[in-house]
Chain A
Amino acid sequence: MRLTCTVNGEPREVDDVWPGESLLYVLRERCGLPGAKNACEQGECGSCTVYLDGVAVCACLVAAGQAEGRVVVTVEGLAPGGELDPVQRAFVQAGAVQCGFCTPGLIVAVHDLLAHVHS
């Protein structure tokens, strides 16, 4: 099937998507966005966290078809160009990055948490 959605501000049309595959697979294998990681494939670890219409979700638990017509933001899209979002900068400065594999998911989760705290 063809999947049409917006990823990090860009309209995308992704062809040959198997309806059963996950949004995580679409992002990593079809959109060239490997920032979100596959570490447990069951929504336990949060390494694959992305925004779907502004809601933080585990992309491994979202079927590709559920993203049809919706807006996805990944860790790659949190800050423009080579800049860092304040959450990304804080992770680096505080030493909250080690192997870095869950880091993209944690950053989106913290970004989302802080957005709720401010509101």
Chain B
Amino acid sequence: MGTLTRAVGQAHARLDGPDKVRGAARYSVEYPVENVAYAWPVPSTVVKGRITRVDTRAALAEPGVLAVLSYENAPRLTPAGDPELFVLQEPAVAYRGQIVALAVAGSLEAAREAAGLVRLEYDTWPHDTVLTENHPGLYQPSHVNPSLPTDTEIGNFDAGYAAAPVRVDATYRTPAEHNNPMEPHASTVQWQGDRLVVHDANQGPGQVQAGLATLFGLPPERVRVITEHVGGGFGCKTMRCCVVLAALAARHVDRPVRLALTRQQMFGVVGYRTPTIQRIRLGADPTGRLTASCHDAISQSSMLKEFAEQTAVYGRPLYAAPHRRTTHRLARLDVPSPAWMRAPGQCPGSFAVESAMDELAVTCGVDPVELRIRNEPATDPEEGTPYSSRNLVACLREGAHRFGWADRDRTPAVRRAGRCLLGTGVAGSIYPARSLVSSASAYAGPDGAFLVQINAVDIGTGARTALWQIAADELGVPPDRVMIRVGDTGLPEASLAGGSTGTASWGWAVAKVCREIRVQIDDVHGGSVPAGGVHAQVDTTADIQAQQTFSRYAFGAQFAEVRVDVDTGEVRVDRLLGVFAAGRIVNALTARSQLIGGMTMGMSMALLEEGLWDPRSGDWANHDLATYHVAGCADIEQIEAYWLDEDDPHLNPAGVKGIGEIGIVGTAAAITNAVYHATGVRVRDLPVRLDRLLGHRA
């Protein structure tokens, strides 16, 4: 084979890049379909109630309108676990914006017009939509997401905290935040006899296949979900009602149906990050060594379902303290169901914990990098297990070096440039490194080409390209001899894109099947591929069950430099720098994009993003990109992401930990810590709005 350069570790441009820059990549409502009809949802205009009358006469009188679906006439579904998917089945309304009817027409404009003409009457009841720390409905859920203990206690927190010479007790709040992937949820659905063919924007074609099969009472093999390109997800493109509505409409009108949500509709029905109220108590000795820590987290869910954000999970494996407690309480309100959003739990949790660590550093007069190093545990402080690898300290040191942290004057509000106060801040970062069961197939052709297939999904992460690189290395051939196919339930079943598990899980199956192909070629066929080719398929169930017990996490350190205008309160982030230890980095180009994308989203969370709730109308007051601000290019000055070479043998064959989420973890705290350093004002409620700074002006 000579000297073959390994593909893994190279900065390969993504395989789908040329199609995407030409506008030739097809998203879910862009496939040409004959005789397609269009559906337009009708949201409820009441918060809590029951539909008493559905008047579709005006809507049906519009030219081109085919049908109006509601609970009265929609095809019947079988519940599939998530009540948000059980659409148009019942007259009950659980939140404002819930889809209560669906107009279907031969053109998009006719469907939209008809949707506006549907008249609904309701009985309504008083609603309760505001989360507070003393809400009478707060309760202890049986577990928090995904299936973690609700509360934990090691040692005796109360005694440890009472005895601590230095204490921090602060409450932090994060608002509701909306995922806002660039592509709204979109589906094209065709019934072909009793088979369902779906082009859908999602993070798990297999999940959508299983969900539709249950809802419509079909064997899964009669549902095919194709997800070639997805315009982002950030958690909100796990299965949602959009595809179910399209399938109901297509069955009802007996035509293919397209449904793309508008940006405005997304705010109501695709989930959001719950607001959180988090109390942190830290007890320490005068040098900043933690003796006690407690994280009490409060969040909300809807009346439809329990979604328990795992906010206080963040600190469980992170910093050492002999006495420690975490708790979660949840209130069920008359609100839309919250759902997964990039680094669920870890992201809001890190804001509170990493802010409190900064407050402790200030109280103790200890450098905040050094404070974190002093609280480095030898083993997982709650599980007692060893880490497969833990390089938080290395990230902090490397970051401090690159950022120029040495000799930082800790005094707040003393650096000034013109109208601006300047400051710097730091935060730690941790995210679980998990692998899920997946399967993959590979085919070696007699012409020397290889085809690797797996129902993974590339939601923009670069997964397709990373898996192609892993396959090439495992096959021991140049990547241009390998073709990879993803995003189709006709391919071997694989886990969904979530929790930063994709490359670890799919890469495991891909590596395994490629090794199997090599064994077959070498051992069975004497080193050459026979005329009929060689085929193999594997899954990783046994491999994942056989994993040894370790605490597996990626780590990072985030540094920020800010400039605060003393007259306007405007905060500009002059520099963001992150250093990450996340196992092996498969593709330097796509990895950098993932990390700086996460950091940018964290900056957006710190300064801009806030779902504003109107308690009277029980609705989001801001529900578009003009009023819900998301960071754009002009908000970013200098942004840098680095990673440490990390060779962790306890992960998976590709040696990866996942990088989709860690970039957003800790970022907001690094920025608010820098804002404190700049101004002396500690902002504990996100985002850092102008009024939250100017209110403290001397």
Q: Is the CB of A42 within 8 A of B590?
A: no
Chain A residue numbers with a CB within 8 Å of B231 are 37, 39, 99-102
Chain B residues contacting A28 (CB-CB under 8 Å) are: 30
Question: What 0/1 readout, one digit per residue, does chain B (617-636) give for beta carbons within 8 Å of chain A?
Answer: 00000001110000000000
Q: Cα distance A104–B21 when bound, in Å?
A: 6
Within 96-110 of A, Cβ neighbours of B (below 8 Å) are at 96-104, 107
Contact between A99 and B23 (Cβ–Cβ < 8 Å)? Answer: no
Does B17 touch A at the CB level, under 8 Å? yes
CB atoms of B183 and A84 under 8 A apart: no
The answer to whether the Cβ of B24 comes within 8 Å of any Cβ in the partner chain is yes
Q: Do B109 and A100 touch across chains, with their CB atoms under 8 A apart?
A: no
**Is the Cβ of B263 less than 8 Å from the Cβ of A40?**
yes
For A106, the closest partner residue in chain B by CB is B633
Q: Is B371 positioned at the interface, with any CB of A under 8 Å from its CB?
A: no
**Which chain B residues (553-609) contact chain A, with CB distance < 8 Å?**
589-590, 592-594, 597
CA distance A30 to B24 in the complex (A): 16
Assess whether B262 is interfacial by the CB under 8 Å rule: yes
Interface residues as binary, A69-107 with B (CB distance below 8 Å gives 1, 0 otherwise): 000001110010000100011011101111111111001
* Chain A interface, DSSP helix/strand/loop, else mixed: loop
Which residue on chain B has the smallest CB distance to residue A109?
B633
Quick check: which of B385-393, B458-466, B482-490, B523-531 contacts chain A, the rest being far away?
B458-466
- Point out the residue from B17, B594, B625 that lies within 8 Å of A97, measured CB to CB: B17
Residues of the B chain whose Cβ atoms lie less than 8 Å from the Cβ of A103: 20-21
Does A15 make an interface contact (CB < 8 A)?
no
Answer whether residue B13 sits at the interface, using C-beta atoms and an 8 A cutoff. yes
Q: With A39-B182, A40-B263, A95-B592 as known contacts, state yes or no: A100 contacts B22, CB within 8 Å.
A: no
Q: Which residue of B lies closest to A39 (CB)?
A: B182
Q: Is the beta-carbon distance between B23 and A97 smaller than 8 angstroms?
A: no
Interface-centre pick from B20, B21, B27, B182 (highest chain A CB count, 10 A): B21
CB–CB A44/B626 < 8 A: yes
Selected contact of B22 from candidates A35, A36, A98, CB within 8 Å: A35
CA distance A111 to B18 in the complex (A): 16
From A42, A88, A96, A99, B182 is in contact (CB under 8 Å) with: A99
Contact of A42 among B108, B597, B625 (CB under 8 A): B625
Task: Report if B317 contacts A (CB, 8 A).
Answer: no
Interface string of B13-57 (1 = CB under 8 A from A): 110111011111111001010000000000000000000000000
Q: Are A38 and B24 in contact (CB under 8 A)?
A: no
B263–A41 contact, CB under 8 A? Answer: yes
CB distance from A86 to the nearest CB of B (A): 11
Q: Does B175 contact A (CB under 8 A)?
A: no
* Min CB–CB distance B215 → chain A (angstroms): 27
Alpha-carbon gap, A37 to B23, bound state (A): 9
Q: Are A42 and B14 in contact (CB under 8 A)?
A: no
On whether the beta carbons of B182 and A104 are closer than 8 Å, the reply is no
A25 beta carbon closer than 8 Å to chain B = yes
Q: Which residues of B contact A93 (CB under 8 A)?
A: 13
The listed residue (A20, A29, A75, A99) touching B181 by CB distance below 8 A is A99
B423 within 8 A of A: no
- A104 surroundings in chain B (CB, below 8 A): 20-21, 23
B179 to chain A: closest CB distance in Å? 12
Residues of B within 8 Å of A79, CB to CB, are 22
B residues 89-120 near A (Cβ < 8 Å) are 108-109
A25 touches B32 (CB 8 A): no
Give which listed residue, B14, B25, B232, B263, contacts A95 with CB less than 8 A.
B14
B512 within 8 Å of A by Cβ? Answer: no
Contact indicator A88/B16 (Cβ below 8 Å) = no
Contact mask for chain B residues 224-262; partner A; CB cutoff 8 A; 1 contact, 0 none? 000001111000000000000000000000000000101
CA distance A92 to B589 in the complex (A): 10
Say yes or no: is A13 at the interface (Cβ < 8 Å to chain B): no
Q: Is B184 an interface residue (CB 8 A)?
A: yes
Indicate if the CB atoms of A100 and B18 lie closer than 8 Å: no
The distance in angstroms between the C-alpha atoms of A84 and B23, with both chains bound, is: 11
Please, which residues of chain B bring their CB within 8 A of the CB of A18? 109
Complex Cα–Cα for A74 and B24 (A): 12
Residue of B at shortest CB range from A32?
B32
Check A99 against B230 for contact (C-beta < 8 Å).
Answer: yes
The one of B21, B594, B624 in contact with A107, judged by C-beta atoms closer than 8 angstroms, is B21
Chain A hits for B229, CB < 8 A:
99-100
What are the residues of chain A within 8 A of B263 when measuring CB–CB?
Answer: 39-42
A74/B23 contact (C-beta < 8 A), A39-B263, A98-B597 known: yes
Write the chain B residue with the least CB distance to A100: B20
Q: Nearest-CB distance from B201 to chain A (Å)?
A: 9
Instruction: Return the contact of A91 from the options B21, B32, B462 (Cβ within 8 A).
Output: B21
Contacts of A33 in B (CB 8 A): 23
Question: Least Cβ distance of B54 to chain A in Å?
Answer: 27
Which B residues touch A76, using CB under 8 A?
22-24
A101 touches B13 (CB 8 A): no
**B625-659 contacts to A (CB < 8 Å):** 625-626
A68 in contact (CB, < 8 A): no
**Complex: how many Å from CA A47 to CA B231?**
11
Q: Nearest-CB distance from A99 to chain B (Å)?
A: 3
For B262, the chain A residues whose CB sits under 8 A away are 41
Question: In the complex, are the beta carbons of A45 and B625 less than 8 A apart?
Answer: yes
Task: Write the chain A residue with the least CB distance to B233.
Answer: A99
CA distance A74 to B17 in the complex (A): 17
Would you give the shortest CB distance from A75 to chain B, in whole angstroms? 4
- A37:B22 contact, CB within 8 angstroms: no
Scan A42-75; emit 1 where CB is below 8 A from any B CB, else 0. Answer: 1011010000000000000000000000000011
Residues of chain B within 8 A (CB-CB) of A42 are 263, 624-626
User: Chain B contacts of A89 at CB under 8 A?
Assistant: 21
Q: Which residue of B lies closest to A75 (CB)?
A: B23
Chain A nearest Cβ from B600, distance in angstroms: 11
State A96–B308 Cα separation when bound (angstroms).
35
Q: Determine if A10 is an interface residue (Cβ-Cβ < 8 Å).
A: no
A contact set with B: CB distance below 8 Å: 18, 20-21, 25, 28-29, 32-42, 44-45, 47, 74-76, 79, 84, 88-89, 91-93, 95-104, 107
Query: What are 11 A-B residue pairs whose CB atoms fall within 8 Å in the complex?
Result: A25-B108, A35-B23, A42-B625, A45-B182, A92-B21, A97-B14, A97-B21, A98-B462, A99-B183, A100-B460, A103-B20
Beyond A42-B625, A84-B22, A103-B21, 16 extra complex contacts between A and B, CB < 8 Å: A34-B30, A41-B262, A42-B263, A45-B625, A75-B21, A76-B22, A79-B22, A84-B21, A92-B21, A95-B13, A95-B592, A96-B593, A98-B232, A98-B597, A101-B181, A104-B23
Chain B interface residues (CB < 8 Å from chain A): 11, 13-14, 16-18, 20-27, 30, 32, 108-109, 181-184, 229-232, 260, 262-263, 459-462, 589-590, 592-594, 597, 624-626
Q: Which 6 A-B pairs have the closest CB atoms?
A: A35-B23, A99-B460, A101-B231, A100-B20, A92-B17, A95-B589
